[in-house]
Amino acid sequence: MSVPVHQVGAIGTVFVFTVRDQSGDVVDLSTATTLDAKFRAGPKATTKTFGGTLLTDGTDGKFYYATAAVSDLDVAHDCWQRQGDIVVPGLYSGRTEVRTFPVKPNL
């Protein structure tokens, strides 16, 4: 499976997060009060947090964030990281696993 390449300043790039519990089962997000998408350009960079949106009705455990401003992916770096931060009252509070992806420079 190839890793998608993202460009600095891209708007409309969609990142999908799948939330699973410790058993590996998807978490029903239909009543979630927090769906945050966290990003940073490498382990020493400042973390950026954006509000996510359910991909469907939430029962599939998926939400997404689509980049909305040039400043969302503002630095070329081979090891950007992303992680979801979720709260479903009375059911789940936690984070997704960390995923890495490259952001390449423009001409």
Reported as a single tens digit per residue, the pLDDT across 10-43 is 999 999 999 999 899 999 999 999 999 999 998 8
pLDDT tier at 68, thresholds 50, 70, 90: very high
* Number of H-type helices and E-type strands within the chain: 0, 9
Interstrand relation of 62-66 and 53-54 (parallel, antiparallel or unpaired): antiparallel
Q: Please provide the average confidence, as pLDDT, over all residues in the chain.
A: 94
Q: Rounded to whole angstroms, how far apart are CA atoms 21 and 86?
A: 11
Q: Which two tokens stand for residue 52?
A: 């996510």
Instruction: Look up the pTM and report it.
Output: 0.91
Q: Where are the beta strands (DSSP E) in the chain?
A: 6-7, 14-18, 34-41, 48-51, 53-54, 62-66, 77-88, 92-95, 99-104
